[in-house]
Amino acid sequence: MSGPAKRLVVTVAADGTVSAVTEGITGSKCLNYIAVLEDLLAAQTVHSEYTSDFHRVTGAVTNRQEQHDGR
């Protein structure tokens, strides 16, 4: 079972403004993608905000129950 595809969606507006959104990248790893984009474009981020993927937990969640016999 694989998770959502990891993507960096880049949009270039008519005035040359570039915006980018990461998708399927959880936690602070998304910041690495933005840093690469800044390097490629010789640009600097003016505004950023986290998407819901930033807060999404990766991996499986394990539910564990224990039963004790009271001794």
Q: What is the pLDDT of residues 12-39, one digit of tens each?
A: 999 988 888 888 888 888 888 888 888 9
Is the pLDDT reported for residue 41 higher than 80? yes
- The neighbour count for residue 24, using CB atoms within 10 Å, is 14
User: For tokens 């998407």, what's the residue?
Assistant: 51
Distances (CA, A) of 62 to 13, 27, 43, 59, 65: 44, 20, 42, 10, 10
Beta bridge partners of 9: 21
For the entire predicted model, the pTM comes to 0.61
CA 59 to chain centroid, in Å, comes to 14
